[in-house]
Amino acid sequence: MNKVIRNYHGHLSGVYCLKIHDGLNVLVSGGRDSAARVWDIRVRKQVHALVGHSHTVGSIVTQNSEPHVITGSYDSFIKMWDVGTGRCINTLTNHKKSIRAMVEHPT
């Protein structure tokens, strides 16, 4: 049985990726509006809008042991964000094409 159990409203256009950060009880969504949005699953509200990309956010990676979110964008940048503050703490600029997929390497 297909049934919608929650709706989250905030992106200005289509959503391209979703990732749950189990350690922090948040859902992170990336969209065509160039933003990633952090949602508190418990209260169903947006906590942060991670704004800094200039094109679609196409990939999100989280690591349960760290309070960080990593976003990859069609603008060719990868950004690391502090989920607590919503601020970008690092940007990787060496890619020449769109970032459409990322994978966490188990350590």
The domain spans of the chain are 15-92
Is CATH 1.10.1750.10 the right assignment for the domain spanning 15-92?
A: no
pLDDT tens figures, 8-67: 888 889 999 999 998 899 999 999 999 999 999 999 999 999 999 999 999 999 988 889
Angle at 18 between CA 9 and CA 55, to 5 degrees: 80
- The pTM score is 0.91
What number of helices (H) and strands (E) belong to the chain? Answer: 0, 8
Q: How many CA atoms are closer than 13 Å to the CA of 78, on its beta-carbon side? A: 17
